Amino acid sequence: MMTEAERFAKTDIGPPYFWDMLPQVIKDNYGKWLYHEKVKPGVLKHVGETGDELYTVRVGSPRLLSIETLRWFADLADKYCDGHLRFTSRHNVEFLLTDASKIDPLIEELEAEGWPVGGTGKSLKNLIHTQGWIHCHSAATDASGTVKAVMDDLYEYFKRDDLPAKLKISMACCLNMCGAVHCSDIAFVGVHRKVPRVDDAGVANACEIPNVVASCPTGAIRPNPKAKSVTINEEKCMYCGNCFSVCPSLPIADPEYDGVAIFVGGKVSNTRSGPAFSKLVIPYIPNEPPRWPTLVKAIRNLVEIWVKDARKGERYGEWIERIGWERFFEMANLPFTDKHIDDFIFSVPTFRTTTQFKFTK
Amino acid sequence: MTEKRRPLVDELKKGKFPSFVKEIEKSAAKNEAADQLLDLLERSYEDKRVHWKHGGIVGVRGYGGGVIGRYSDLPEEFPALAEFHTMRVNQPSGWFYTSDSIRKLCDIWEKHGSGLTNMHGATGDAILLGTTTEHLQPCFNELSDAGFDLGGSGSNLRTPSACCGPARCEYACFDTLDLCHHITNYYQDELHRPMWPYKFKIKISGCPNDCTASIARADFSIIGTWRDAIRINQEAVKEYANNGMNIQAEVVDYCPTKCIAYDAEKKEITVDNDNCTRCMHCISAMPKALRIGKDRGATLLLGGKATIVQSAFLSWVIKPFIKLDKEDGYQELKDILESIWDWWDENAKVRERVGELVYRKGMGDFLRATGLEPVPQMVRHPRENPYFFWRPEELEAEKAAKEVAGTEVDE
């Protein structure tokens, strides 16, 4: 008899059909929602043209969930939501209710087990992040650990929705930037600061030299025909790690020098000023497991100055555009260095080509 | 069971936000790999470095993707992590689940893996985190029996994802969930069998708020929009005003095109719709009073990606408006998508995203290859340099036209 390992599964069946996953109130009001309002932090109310009401309870999540917790969520969905729940693009869990009287008991049950309800409207959203040292080979820092430390510290901002605007903080553990960290209000990214080590025998054995050469954004990698390997020009390498992505024999992780950089002022939505990239404000913070105190403090400072100074409705980058980057660096009490001035291929349009600027102290 | 001491990792059980360490511990009570994962993380915290090796090629029969090979670099010390592969399970559109479907996933993963998941990965798949090579095929068999399929990985179509759209949002300009489901099923071969220069991501957002961040991270961004007037409910405007909203300061003054006006005496809003760029600020600020228009569809944008290699790109407009009707199976959209894939597949170098190819070859090449028309909506402003090309056939056509005109005059 054929074993499970020998069996051919039915392929190309595609994902489960979403319609089968929807609660009746959504099927009844599909495409016919009229408006929504915020009930309180973490709770949304959607009203359909039929007059039907749908309540959403949004729960913060570390994204890494055990099946024990997922089963518990499923039980809660049975108890409060006729067996329906969803997840968001920022890894929240959302419970979908039609009975308003069940909202508070659900929240009580969630929070008693340490699952916070919040992250709607003008609040700190759930952090999005990557795998880090839990499960990735190219991580320059840990993801779950740094995110836990930052979210513990900023917990209050997840629970309230009276910030100047929404605040999206994102994390990526290397420059591959899985997830949209490059367009976040505040982004922290794992960085290397040392040139990859070339294991000639390994490169000769396992790597395609033309691909390795082509992987380098700055042309720092040359073939080394004698060793059937490559050489790396230390003056041109800026430690992106892309060569390591295509060739395992160019390891770049370095316990002493790896760490985190912080970028701010990006956004994704087309609202008002349109989408924007985040910009570098802190080039390096060392890796300090398990709780990364320098990183946590730096991010708190960045959040607090915005909460204090921004006008109602201003996202992080919109606030900085109004006050000016020179004033931002002064207000954040951050040193401005040569690292902050772009020297990659699209650098010149970022230079200030006007005499309009503010003097700082 | 005596609790193991992991002094560094244990620090992350403290604090108010849900702890991933506690999550791993829940699985560790039943699963040795999950237990050793905490030990390995403790080691990473001691060493300040990663302890995973580059992925190897593992998979299930019939597919070239969907599984990410993962191996610890300390297999003697952590034998349960010698193989710790990831399986990507294609999520239902909009990440809606029934409790039973969640339980089904959990039961399969309890039998075949560590019991750890990511709900969800950045691309959108439900991530099953950590199993051995031996379990991959049996796990996939059971997933398939239960109605689940694997998502994309490697140089293929990555699992498309969509916002909740018409299921729970009054801003949805088209049926994001149906489009996502349709495209994912229609392109199963492209999704499961890597055949391209590099990855290709499609993300679908129902309105310009772009909740899937498609403009930042999708090669092909589909973002809902409309062409007619914002619908105004003046009674609701009055209600916002009477409830203390400063409509001038919070709504009107933020309008990027100054196309909205508020009459404080009448408590009424007017919109100059021809000058509206549909940024969503006013609608998001007053969802009861202002609604998206009725002539709805989507804007198509191309090229979004993170930094590696040539810099991060935001997607740019390649088609200002397209109707997305399910009746014809989204044929126009699929034709555009396939013409882009043909050109990219033909011209790209290894690991060159489509946005980088357009940067290298120019929009002119791209537009001629795909048949899309150049329109001012594609650019922030026209070219500022005089370095543009004339193709010989353009000059010849001009000459021929002149000769025809000349002949006509002579006659």
DSSP character string of B99-114: HHHHHHHHHHHHHHS-
Taking one residue from A and the other from B, the number of pairs with CB-CB distance under 8 angstroms is 378
Q: According to the model, what pLDDT value does residue A4 have?
A: 85
> What pLDDT sits at residue B368?
97
The kind and range of the H/E element at A84 are strand A84-87
- Closest Cβ–Cβ partner in A16, A33, A74 for B103: A74
Does A287 touch chain B if contact means CB atoms closer than 8 Å? yes
Q: Which long-range contacts (CB under 8 A, 24 or more apart) does A1-9 make?
A: A4/B137, A4/B138, A4/B141, A5/B134, A5/B137, A5/B138, A6/B137, A7/B137, A7/B138, A7/B141, A8/B61, A8/B62, A9/B60, A9/B61, A9/B62, A9/B137, A9/B140, A9/B141, A9/B143, A9/B144, A9/B145
Query: How high is the pLDDT of residue B2?
Result: 54
Give me the residue from A36, A71, A272 closest to B256, CB to CB: A272
Pick from A19, A64, A211, A295 the residue to mutate for testing the B interface (most B CBs within 10 Å): A64
Q: In this structure, what DSSP letter does residue B212 have? A: T
Please tell me which residue, B138 or A181, carries the higher pLDDT value: B138
**CA A150 – CA A130 distance, rounded (Å):** 14
Phi, psi of A307 (to 5 degrees): -60, -35
Asked if A240's CB is within 8 angstroms of B307's CB, the reply is yes
Q: Which ipTM was obtained for this model? A: 0.97
What local confidence, expressed as pLDDT, does residue B384 receive?
95
Query: Which residues of chain B are within 8 Å of residue A274 when distances are taken between CB atoms?
Result: 256, 279
* Smallest CA–CA distance from B313 into chain A, residue: A277
Identify the closest residue of chain B to A64 by CA–CA distance.
B118
The pairing of beta strand B161-162 with beta strand B202-205: parallel
Is the Cβ of A51 closer than 8 Å to some Cβ of chain B? Answer: no
Contacts of B277 (CB under 8 A, 6+ apart): B256, B257
Handedness of CA B149, B151, B156, B161 (dihedral sign): positive
φ, ψ of residue A173 to 5 degrees: the values are: -90, -5
Q: Tell me the residues of chain A between 173 and 192 that have a Cβ less than 8 Å away from chain B.
A: 175-183
Residues of B with CB below 8 A from A116's CB? 16-18
The one-letter amino acid at A262 = I
Q: Which stretches of chain A drop beneath a pLDDT of 50?
A: none
Report chain B residues whose CB lies below 8 A from the CB of A56.
168
- The Cα of B86 is separated from the nearest Cα of chain A by a number of Å equal to 9
Q: Give the pLDDT mean for B341-357.
A: 97
Question: pLDDT tens-digit profile of B292-313?
Answer: 999 999 999 999 999 999 899 9
B66-85: pLDDT as tens digits: 999 999 999 999 999 999 99
How many residues comprise chain A?
361
CB atoms within 10 A of CB B189: 12
Nearest one of A156, A120, A111 to A36, comparing CA atoms: A120
More confident residue, B408 or B129: B129
Q: What distance in Å separates residue B49's CA from the closest CA in chain A? A: 5
Q: Looking at the complex, does the CB of residue A349 fall below 8 Å from at least one CB of chain B?
A: no
Chain B contact probe: residue of A25, A75, A89, A173 with most B CBs at under 10 A: A89
Q: What percent of chain B has pLDDT over 70?
A: 98
Determine whether the interchain pair A135/B52 forms a contact, defined as Cβ–Cβ distance below 8 Å.
yes
Residue B159, token pair as written in the block? 């699992």
CB-CB contact of A161 with A171 (8 Å): no
Question: In the predicted model, what is the mean pLDDT of residues B9-20?
Answer: 98
The amino acid at residue B208 is P
How would you classify the pairing of strands A162-167 and A122-124? parallel
Which of B180, B210, B216 shows the shortest C-beta gap to A182? B216
3-state secondary structure of B375: coil
Go through A316-350 and write b for each residue having 16 or more CB atoms within 10 A of its CB, e for each that does not. Answer: bbbbbeeeebebbbbbbebeeeeeeeeeeeeeeee
Q: How far is CA B127 from CA A131, A138, B122, B159, B279, in A?
A: 11, 18, 10, 12, 34
Cβ–Cβ gap B101/A16 under 8 Å? yes
What spatial distance separates the first Cα and last Cα of chain A, rounded to whole Å? 81
- Which of A13, A85, A290 is closest, CB to CB, to B97? A85
Nearest by CB to B122, which of A128, A139, A272? Answer: A128
* CA B380 – CA B356 distance, rounded (Å): 19
Closest by CA position to A270, among listed B30, B301, B266: B301
- Measured in whole angstroms, how far is the alpha carbon of residue A117 from the centre of its chain? 19
CA atoms within 13 A on the CB side of A13: 18
Partners of B172 on chain A (C-beta within 8 Å) are 31, 33
Contact flag B310-A155 (C-beta cutoff 8 Å): no
For B76, other C-beta atoms within 10 Å of its C-beta total 7
Residue A2 is predicted with a pLDDT of 81
Q: What is the pTM of this model?
A: 0.97
Q: Give B400→chain A minimum CA distance, Å.
A: 41
Alpha helices in chain A (DSSP H): 24-29, 67-81, 103-112, 144-159, 200-206, 209-214, 242-246, 293-309, 316-323, 325-332
Instruction: Return mean pLDDT, chain B.
Output: 96
d(CA B394, CA A171): 49
Of B96, B129, B310, nearest to A18 by CB-CB distance is B96
Q: How far is B181 from chain A (nearest CA, A)?
A: 7
Which pLDDT belongs to residue B8? 98
Residue B248 has pLDDT above 90, yes or no: yes
CA distance B283 to chain A (A): 10
Contact list, B325 vs chain A (CB under 8 Å):
none
What pLDDT does residue A5 have?
A: 86
Q: What is the pLDDT of residue A178?
A: 86
From the list A168, A189, A186, the residue with the least C-alpha distance to A332 is A186
**What does the pLDDT average to over B48-56?**
91
- Distance separating alpha carbons of residues A56 and A27, to the nearest angstrom: 16
Name the residue in chain A with its Cα closest to that of B103.
A71
* Per-residue pLDDT at B408: 65
The interaxial angle of helices B331-347 and B354-361, nearest 10 deg, is: 70
Residue of A nearest to B16 (CA): A152
Q: Is the pLDDT of residue B391 over 80?
A: yes
The answer to whether A165 and A310 are in contact (CB under 8 A) is: yes
Distances (CA, A) of A345 to A275, A334, A342, B81, B309: 21, 26, 9, 41, 11
Return the pLDDT at B242. 97
Query: Is B9–A20 a contact, with Cβ atoms under 8 angstroms apart?
Result: no
Q: Residue B405 — very low, low, confident or very high, per pLDDT cuts 50/70/90?
A: confident
pLDDT-derived band at B410 (thresholds 50, 70, 90) equals low
Residue B115 and residue B27: Cα distance in Å, rounded?
A: 6
Q: Locate the chain B residue with the closest alpha carbon to A171.
A: B122
Instruction: For the beta carbon of residue A126, count every other beta carbon within 10 angstroms.
Output: 27
Q: Which residues of A81-112 are buried (b: 16+ CB within 10 A; e: fewer)?
A: bbbbbbbbbbbbbbbbbbeeebbeebbeebee
Q: Which residues pair with A48 in a beta bridge?
A: A33
Tell me which residues of chain A, numbers 103 to 162, contact chain B at a CB-CB cutoff of 8 Å. Answer: 114-116, 128, 130-131, 133-140, 142, 144-145, 148-149, 151-152, 155, 158
Contact A289 B48 (CB under 8 A): yes
Does position B407 have pLDDT exceeding 80, yes or no?
A: no
Whole-number pLDDT of residue B322: 98
Chain A nearest C-alpha distance from B158 (Å): 13
